[in-house]
Amino acid sequence: MGLIIFTIVNHQPQKMKKVLFLIDFTTDAKHAAEYGYQLAKQIKADIVLGNAIIVPAEIPQSGMVALPMEESDTLLEDSEKELKRLKAHMEQNDHSATFRPAITFASEAGTVTNAVAHFVKSQDIDLILMGTHHRGRLSSFLFGDHCKNVIDSTNKPLILIPPKAKFAPIKKIAFATDFKNPDDDLKFIYILIPLAKQLNAEILLTHVYDGKYQSPEFEHWIKNFLVELSGTANYPNIYYRMVKNAGTERGLDWLCEHGQVDLLAMVHRRHGFFDDLLHGSDTKKMAGQVSIPLLIFQD
């Protein structure tokens, strides 16, 4: 890796004040909501419970017919009853004396992506959270149909909660990158910093690579990068770690299992690090191993 030129620009993003929980009433979605409630308490953010009513008329399959208006209204009513029940469950089971998030809820008929866009705009959402389901391949585990569609369509940060995730205060966030787009990475690191401050968490810039060694030029560059970033961002709790492994996914697998991190963050960009993870030929089955949430920034 040759010498990289980068520019430090001081961004001042807003704190995350409102989180959208995407709910489909499955066990995994409810588990994600329980996790998200504790996270919202930690960052002192309010919650919107959102459910997309996917009516058959909007599913591109032959032979589907539109639902009668009365049946569509019934689905919306049932959805709001379930959301109201989930809201009450969260509120009644919070016996702490600390911050209690204000919880609202909304249902929207249509595709998941259209519903998310509506929720984000109408509710002034800063962060989206949703659960994943047990699948075979990592690409399916992280990007089931709804997950992938949300990732591709929203410009808001998205947290995916795996079924095995157990909530504990987030103290270490690993921002995984290949440093091929350092200026672009900086943009998202500056978005991540206010969240890390709210969580009082460390940010671990994690370079996953499969080369034999790092050049002296890169080692010198990364030291300067960290010094200037810490100073400009006014946040000293930023560190650097190299993870050498044969393949991106294997490196991230090792990081999730042994890196002692509570949250893994990555940028989803076309033809980039994240895209390689999704479409790479070495994708292996590891759905049963992923146990920490994944924070995705859409480029």
Q: Is 276's pLDDT higher than 60? A: no
Q: Is the distance from CB of 265 to CB of 297 less than 8 angstroms?
A: yes
Q: Is 285's pLDDT higher than 80? A: no
Q: Which pLDDT band, with edges at 50, 70 and 90, does 67 fall under?
A: low
289: left (phi over 0), alpha (psi -120 to 50) or beta: alpha
Give the domains, in start order, of the chain with CATH numbers.
18-131 (3.40.50.620), 172-298 (3.40.50.620)
CA distance 31 to 53: 20
CA distance 46 to 34: 14
262: left (phi over 0), alpha (psi -120 to 50) or beta: alpha
What pLDDT, on a 0 to 100 scale, did the predictor assign at position 55? 58
* Helix, coil or strand: residue 197: helix
Give how far the C-alpha of residue 234 lies from the chain's centroid of Cα atoms, to the nearest Å: 24
* Helix, coil or strand: residue 267: strand
What pLDDT, on a 0 to 100 scale, did the predictor assign at position 158? 92
Higher local confidence (pLDDT), 107 or 71: 107
* Cα atoms in the 13 Å half-sphere on the side-chain side of 174: 26
Q: Is 174's pLDDT higher than 70? A: yes
Nearest to 37 by CA among 93, 82, 78: 93
Q: Which pLDDT band, with edges at 50, 70 and 90, does 141 fall under?
A: very low
